[in-house]
Amino acid sequence: MSVYQAPIIANHLKTFIMSRLLAAITLLLSIALTILVTIACSVPIIIAGIIKLLFPVPAVWRSVSAFCNVMMYCWCEGLAVLLRLNPHLKWDVQGLAGLNKKNGYLLICNHHSWADIVVLCVLFRKHIPMNKYFLKQQLAWVPFLGLACWALDMPFMKRYSRSYLIRHPERRGKDVETTRRSCEKFRSHPTTIVNFVEGSRFTDEKQQQTRSPYKNLLPPKAAGIAMAVNVLGQQFDKLLNVTLCYPENDSTPFYDMLSGKLTRIVVRIHLIPVTEELHGDYVNDKNFKRRFQLWLNSVWSEKDKLIDNIKAEYNNAGH
């Protein structure tokens, strides 16, 4: 190493250390602010949930649900503020035109990261009724979180594996009945029901385990949305087919979101009419079940191609 190279290397090392330190500080600050926003909004929801639990009266339940929706909106606004603190983040969104808070929607979306929930909450908070997510039944027993989600009228799904149903045939159809009862709650007011129909976040390992025919997606599960359409089809103005992509942060979008490294969020929204062809008895009508699955698989094939095109577009444009 020459005497002239030493200062250059030292400057590079200093820059590297400073950038890592700044990223670490940003990450800790983002986590702290996210936790504070979540606590500030979730504690009132939990208290309201306790009131709802103690006073099972329809009028009380309606008031509590309305209050919880307001607090959920405040949480979304807090997350929006935190995202705006990232000066590098750019949004590329198409398809918001025509959405209305007075209409009900069934929203289906690919699931790539924990960041997806934040993106959907922030993006749609002013355009459609407050999102209600299909959740796994196990989350109902998580301290505080389960009660908060229950107070927000989130539908809990209890899925049984094929092997379990073989051993316990009396349980067949129970998951469908649970979905139906959950959806019945939304007959009285416009609602957005969100279903990540893949059932889990996408990873290369899960792609191999499920033998997914798609490059960027896991195979979709049709039962949940088929039941929602069957129970609430008349209330849904449209089915929202949402495609999420993080073309410049594909490997760790949630970590990059927290650390201020997330640079681009791409969202494509397509409205699908809820026609009579999407209504039917998914459990007992095998022909309808087959048709519905073929329809959903075709939607997923188009989504897979769209994600490929988005990634190619930004790669070719040099980001």
Q: What is the pLDDT of residues 87-146, one digit of tens each?
A: 889 999 999 998 988 888 899 999 999 999 999 999 999 999 988 887 777 777 777 777
Residue 274: how many other CB atoms lie within 10 Å = 20
Which tops the pLDDT comparison, 158 or 315?
A: 315
Would you state the pLDDT for residue 25? Answer: 77
Kindly tell me if the per-residue pLDDT of 295 is higher than 80.
Answer: yes
Would you state the pLDDT for residue 143? Answer: 74
Kindly tell me if the per-residue pLDDT of 301 is higher than 60.
Answer: yes
Interval 199-214 mean pLDDT: 92
CA-based nearest residue to 267, from 295, 233, 243 = 243
Interval 244-252 mean pLDDT: 92
Convert the pLDDT of each residue in 68-83 to its tens digit: 999 999 999 999 998 9
Kindly tell me if the per-residue pLDDT of 26 is higher than 60.
Answer: yes
292 close to 278: Cβ distance less than 8 angstroms:
yes
Residue boundaries of the structural domains of the chain: 89-316
**Pair of tokens at residue 195:** 């279903």
Interval 272-282 mean pLDDT: 86
Would you state the pLDDT for residue 11? Answer: 63
Query: Which pLDDT band, with edges at 50, 70 and 90, does 202 fall under?
Result: very high
Mean residue pLDDT of the chain comes to 84
Question: Pairing state of beta strands 135-136 and 236-245?
Answer: unpaired
- Phi, psi of 204, deg, nearest 5: -60, -35
Would you state the pLDDT for residue 7? Answer: 60
**Percent of the chain topping pLDDT 90:** 38
Which tops the pLDDT comparison, 69 or 160?
A: 69
CA–CA gap between residue 147 and residue 48 (Å, rounded): 10
Kindly tell me if the per-residue pLDDT of 270 is higher than 80.
Answer: yes
190 close to 129: Cβ distance less than 8 angstroms:
yes
**Percent of the chain topping pLDDT 70:** 82
Query: Which pLDDT band, with edges at 50, 70 and 90, does 247 fall under?
Result: very high
Would you state the pLDDT for residue 32? Answer: 85
Would you state the pLDDT for residue 56? Answer: 85
Query: Which pLDDT band, with edges at 50, 70 and 90, does 180 fall under?
Result: low
Would you state the pLDDT for residue 317? Answer: 61
Would you state the pLDDT for residue 117? Answer: 93
CA–CA gap between residue 122 and residue 36 (Å, rounded): 17
CB burial of residue 119 (10 Å; 0-12, 13-18, 19+) = buried
CATH number, domain 89-316? 3.40.1130
Give Cβ neighbours of residue 294 (< 8 Å, ≥ 6 apart). none
* CA dihedral angle for residue 49, residue 53, residue 59, residue 63, rounded to 10 degrees: -10
Which tops the pLDDT comparison, 284 or 197?
A: 197
Which residue, chain included where needed, has tokens 């896991």? 218
Question: How far is the CA of 184 from the CAs of 74, 240, 279, in angstroms?
Answer: 26, 20, 16
